[in-house]
């Protein structure tokens, strides 16, 4: 969404109240004015959409026993923490970032802080498997970037119109499914049929899912 510079002649008392609202909401004066005007005309700015999506994601994870929502790192990014079911249960971080202006909706970054070379190799193996399964059974055009203990997946805009709340649900479900498959992988490392097992579960989870 493009932006332009506009000059406004405003009452000083109005500006004071706007500044007070901006401080309370942790926003700049211009962003606060934009929000007030957008609300008045019924328009959802990219910034407002991101805030609404993250608010919904936080609500959806409020009752989760395995995942914890972190306060927004920025206006367009929030993170979810989960524990990997492997030895000392290292924390795995899912960072959801929404792009304010791009041909892509946003991206998911999956990171695990570890120096354990065995764990890094296992993660790399799973990332390869997951990327293969996505391209084969879910989104042939999906873009993945991964190296050692970091995985990035770019999100596409849904091809069908959905509400902000529905989009938040889809993003939350995507992260939950990724986490479930990752832990299934680590719980079955000695299984000779590991790949078919992961593939079967992936197909089951992605049935009737809107592609993003």
What local confidence, expressed as pLDDT, does residue 151 receive?
96
SS3 category, 98: strand
Q: Same structural domain for residues 35 and 95? A: no
Residue 5 domain-assigned?
Answer: no
Q: Same structural domain for residues 69 and 151? A: yes
Residue 1 domain-assigned?
Answer: no
Residue 6 domain-assigned?
Answer: no
Q: Same structural domain for residues 17 and 74? A: no
What local confidence, expressed as pLDDT, does residue 2 receive?
66
Residue 210 domain-assigned?
Answer: no
Whole domain around residue 26: which residue ranges? 12-41
How many independent structural domains does the chain possess? 2
pLDDT digits (tens, 9 = 90+) for 102-140: 899 999 999 998 889 999 999 999 999 999 999 999 999
What local confidence, expressed as pLDDT, does residue 182 receive?
97
- DSSP 8-state assignment for residue 91: E
Q: Same structural domain for residues 63 and 168? A: yes
pLDDT averaged over every residue in the chain: 91
Q: Please check the confidence at residue 1 and state whether its pLDDT lies above 60.
A: no
pLDDT digits (tens, 9 = 90+) for 73-106: 688 999 999 999 898 899 999 999 999 888 999 9
Question: Which residue intervals of 26-81 are DSSP H helices?
Answer: 29-41, 46-61
What local confidence, expressed as pLDDT, does residue 183 receive?
96
| Average pLDDT score over residue span 150-155 | 96
Q: Find out whether 198 and 189 touch, Cβ atoms under 8 Å.
A: no
- pLDDT confidence tier of residue 149, bands split at 50, 70 and 90: confident
pLDDT digits (tens, 9 = 90+) for 29-77: 888 887 888 778 877 787 888 999 999 999 999 999 999 999 776 889 9
Buried/exposed 5-28: b ≥16 CB within 10 Å, e otherwise: eeeeeeeeeeeeebeeebeeeebe
Q: Please check the confidence at residue 11 and state whether its pLDDT lies above 80.
A: yes
Residue 166 domain-assigned?
Answer: yes
Q: Same structural domain for residues 27 and 90? A: no
Q: Same structural domain for residues 112 and 16? A: no
């Amino acid at each position: 969404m493009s932006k332009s510079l506009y000059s406004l002649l405003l009452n000083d008392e109005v500006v004071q109240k706007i500044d007070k609202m901006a401080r309370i909401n942790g926003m700049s004066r211009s962003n606060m004015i934009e929000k007030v005007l957008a609300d008045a005309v019924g328009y959802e700015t990219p910034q407002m959409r991101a805030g609404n999506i993250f608010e919904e994601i936080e609500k959806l994870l409020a009752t989760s026993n395995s995942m914890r929502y972190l306060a927004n790192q920025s206006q367009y990014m929030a993170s979810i923490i989960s524990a990997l079911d492997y030895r000392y249960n290292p924390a795995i971080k899912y960072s959801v970032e929404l792009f304010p202006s791009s041909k892509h909706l946003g991206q998911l970054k999956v990171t695990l802080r570890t120096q354990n070379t065995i764990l890094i190799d296992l993660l790399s193996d799973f990332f390869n498997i997951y990327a293969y399964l996505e391209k084969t059974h879910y989104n042939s055009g999906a873009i993945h970037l991964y190296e050692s203990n970091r995985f990035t997946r770019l999100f596409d805009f849904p091809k069908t119109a959905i509400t902000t709340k529905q989009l938040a649900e889809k993003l939350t479900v995507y992260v939950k499914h990724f986490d479930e498959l990752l832990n299934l992988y680590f719980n079955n490392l000695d299984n000779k049929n590991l790949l078919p097992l992961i593939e079967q579960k992936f197909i089951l989870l992605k049935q009737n899912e809107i592609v993003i």
